[in-house]
Chain A
């Protein structure tokens, strides 16, 4: 699909601007009513979901040209999907998120590339990861964990750490906790170690759609070779790639794909693991976009002409994302006081890191994180719990910059505290 294939979607826009807000049913205050970081930071209509569609039409109609300034607007968006959720509350015929992806693909096709994105694309090509790290070091995070290597033995569950967890030393404890959790749960999981590669999702999101294919094929091959019936990842970005981008592009992994929080929730509910140790803390939970609304499994496959006739079950409206499992985990931990923010679930506010923004526009990423942290502060929570390494990264960086006393904790880490350590 290319941008012009979404002409009807774009022309369907009534410019109602609902895409700038969280769904109206959920507005609970003046302060936290808005839903689009890009719009909130830059304000011109072009930065909204609607404005981006209008830009697309404008280019297709020859009214404006794709240039550096337009490309910058296109890329100053986390692809968080909040606009699509708000739009789809009242529309059945507009796939807004896909329009945004195709605009980026057009940027790449026409050579409007951001150097910061090219850097990680090069890194992917060279070292199979987005962080510019050596491929040889990819499995270092698992040293001493005594976890099976799928290159050496077949496993029931393939654990895919993802680029950020594999290399970000600040977050390594979290991924090691995740493995410990699997062990406690008796899950026979293995890893690919240094042979694990990027899922390719970040490349697709930044417009390098063709790049993802290679990684997807690689991933599918690895899954198959491992003999696993289940793929588990602690990375929300990878999860989204597996659940949405791969199937949308006709790539099947042929296994059940779970986020670590889904598996942990199952284990708790089955009684396999029991959080017993009290963790006396007031916490709130931040829904990562890629695990929440964008973690909703691909609902495409409808092949009609007029999307007005498309049955609702094919609408990627976001409400079937992963929302309850991480909350169930938090609620299962004794001593925790769990409070919700106003913008949660499919109307959650983004952390700021996604869509290539953290790499290309770190100031914007930090601005978005600060906005979210103000919402956290309004709940009185001392800690922000989340389930995505990119979210944790940008929040921690922002806390460091602002001197905030807020703690950011991955949900698996929190669970491990209650389970009594690794």
Chain B
């Protein structure tokens, strides 16, 4: 419950029209179905509804909200574009800070930097950047998501990564409202000159407590502004595009083309990735489960029938080890060179490739769909929802290993009728940072939340993926994002990282005012979080009991 006094103070700080305690309005923030299944939550209503929703317009207003929350012993949780379970409130005492009104953007063309507020989308930055020959890293979920949110608070993979890196590593200056309402500016902006070009130091970089593989998902305050790196765009300043997605028709520069590369097996697939990385070619590159998610997204009804045919299945299966690469030459010379190298690499890896440029309509849809990153939500077409697992960021070989394991798990569930048949091939992932040989692959699974059996199937899949990650010592990716109980469970396997998270949390936020539910459960709430988690995922019940028993043993020691 929120007191009338607290509401009055919020209204005074922001204006009454920007504060709501209306249940129907607040339910707009208590429905975060996407990836709730990863936490074992129901994929409809979140466990908690915020006690109020507020819409600040400035950093100072965010600061005021945070201070009011502290004064009234309320928790707060911010969201930007707000897609996914990580945005949900984690207790019945949370003021949801919707940052939608903070949407300013400036671009420093020379130094390839964009300074943005939370509610600026990838598409907006890209559209403005392209006017100056620049592009932004697009995160996997789509171009309508907030790059600031990805870079400061969540993950950050995306298939332009070969050119545009990985969200958390693209951060420059940051403005951060801490849980006590103080404003911390990381890097150059801390000097007070309104400059944003560097985010580390002076001295040790406080980006180290801001986030790691994953962000704090709101558990350490609110990020109100940040600068991100932009990357070159060797294409038109404003591509001429007709159509909204699948129907796109685009004028594609003669020095750009997209290729579907088919490899005979995952080993040669990995080899091709390494060679491309070493050759420093390609603008966009990723595995998109051509015969799984992508095909299902493009033709969902036909796909369900196609996979029933053994002949078609055999063809699709033979084509599974496929990736898309887009070459974007700034000049014809560059394009010709890259094309020649690509052909040689695919030949050396015993594969073959199709130049999609020879299929104009398909090329339009894919070229712009990938560059703009508008295609990812099409995955909903087949079932309405999807889940994901694995996705640890490491070498190409390890990414491929993750997708192999994922496919094995999924095939078992497909065989038992628990999951939709996607040939078990639904991994997507990219190659990152040019020549760095860094990659990630997530194993997706499509499901219809309106079908109880499919909900069960997807939960089994997540359970098995968690088991496999531990069994095969796989670098966690999505696994880190399982909510506040997870660090307590994974920590003992990973140098007790949870101890340090706890210290960061308790030092920056002794009052626990920043909703910790997707960061780490504070010591006082650890048992509740763990038991809740075990109730939702019975497979970890024993582990949870062991952890709690060990805690008790420690506390019993005089």
Contact = CB atoms under 8 A, between A and B. Distances in A.
Asked if A and B bind, the verdict is: yes
Interface of A: 8, 11-18, 21, 23-30, 33, 42-46, 48, 50-51, 54-55, 57-59, 61, 63-65, 69-70, 73, 85-86, 89-93, 308-309, 311, 317, 319, 346-347
B62 to A, nearest CB: 15
A75 to B, nearest CB: 13
Given A27-B372, A44-B20, A63-B30, 13 more contacts: A14-B385, A15-B82, A18-B144, A23-B245, A24-B143, A27-B121, A43-B100, A45-B53, A46-B20, A54-B27, A57-B44, A64-B27, A308-B383
B23 A63 contact: yes
A16 B142 contact: yes
A66 B383 CA distance: 31
A23 B28 contact: no
Contacts of A93: 384
B128 A92 contact: no
Contacts, number: 176
Contact of B124 (A33, A44, A50): A33
B251 interface: no
B315 interface: no
B374 interface: yes
A43 B143 contact: no
B377 to A, nearest CB: 4
Contact of A24 (B20, B82, B374, B383): B374
B300 A92 contact: yes
Contact of A45 (B17, B29, B143, B368): B29
Interface string B141-185: 111100000000000000000000000000000000000000000
Given A18-B144, A21-B144, A27 B127 contact: yes
Nearest to A307: B384
A396 B431 CA distance: 54
B380 A90 contact: yes
A29 B377 contact: no
B28 A55 contact: yes
Given A44-B28, A54-B28, A346 B244 contact: yes
Interface in B106-141: 120-121, 123-128, 141
Contacts of B238: 28
Interface of B: 17-18, 20, 22-25, 27-34, 44-45, 49, 53, 55, 81-83, 98, 100-101, 105, 120-121, 123-128, 141-144, 238, 241, 243-248, 300-301, 368-369, 372-374, 377-378, 380-385, 448-450
Given A24-B372, A63-B23, A33 B244 contact: no
B28 A26 contact: no
B241 A25 contact: yes
B381 A46 contact: no
A44 B55 contact: yes
Contact of A43 (B18, B127, B300, B449): B18
Nearest to B24: A64
A309 B300 CA distance: 8
Contacts of A18: 142, 144, 377
B256 to A, nearest CB: 17
B24 A73 contact: yes
A43 B28 contact: no
A86 B142 CA distance: 13
6 contacts: A14-B34, A14-B377, A25-B241, A30-B127, A46-B24, A58-B24
A309 B384 CA distance: 12
A89 B244 contact: yes
In the complex, the 8 A-B pairs of residues with the closest C-beta atoms, listed nearest first = A45-B28, A23-B244, A64-B23, A24-B374, A64-B24, A27-B123, A58-B27, A90-B377
Given A43-B98, A64-B24, A33 B245 contact: no
A43 B28 CA distance: 12
Nearest to A311: B301
Given A15-B32, A25-B374, A43-B18, A73 B142 contact: no
A65 B238 CA distance: 46
Contacts of B120: 30
A300 to B, nearest CB: 18
Contact of A46 (B25, B101, B125): B25
Contacts of B124: 27, 29-30, 33
Contacts of A17: 81-83, 144
A69 B22 contact: yes
Given A44-B25, A93-B384, A23 B374 contact: yes
A25 B34 contact: no
Given A44-B98, A90-B377, A16 B83 contact: yes
A33 B82 contact: no
Given A25-B368, A25-B374, A45-B82, A14 B55 contact: no
A319 B247 contact: yes
Nearest to A309: B301
B45 A61 contact: yes
Contacts of B30: 63
Given A44-B25, A58-B27, A91 B374 contact: no
A14 to B, nearest CB: 5
Given A11-B449, A26-B241, A91 B127 contact: no
Contact of A308 (B127, B246, B300, B369): B300
A26 B27 CA distance: 30
B34 A70 contact: no
B25 A11 contact: no
B27 A55 contact: yes
Max count, chain B CB within 10 A of own CB: residue among A44, A90, A346: A44
Max count, chain B CB within 10 A of own CB: residue among A13, A21, A45: A45
Contacts of B301: 308-309, 311
Nearest to B378: A90
Contacts of B100: 43
A189 B371 CA distance: 51
Nearest to B31: A54
A30 B244 contact: no
A69 B21 CA distance: 11
B244 A43 contact: no
Contact of B34 (A15, A23, A27, A46): A15
Contacts of A12: 384, 449-450
Nearest to A18: B144
A33 B24 contact: no
A258 B5 CA distance: 58
B27 A16 contact: no
B144 A85 contact: no
Contact of A90 (B17, B243, B245, B450): B245
Nearest to A317: B244
A422 B384 CA distance: 54
B105 A30 contact: yes
A188 B530 CA distance: 78
A367 to B, nearest CB: 13
Nearest to A57: B31
Contacts of A48: 28
B55 A70 contact: no
Contact of B44 (A11, A44, A45, A51): A11
A128 B465 CA distance: 64
Contacts of A33: 121, 123-124, 127
Nearest to B100: A43
A91 B380 contact: yes
Contacts of B368: 25
A315 to B, nearest CB: 11
Contacts of A64: 22-24, 27
A63 to B, nearest CB: 6
Contacts of B82: 15, 17, 45
A198 to B, nearest CB: 32
A51 B30 CA distance: 11
Contacts of B25: 44-46, 51, 55, 69, 73
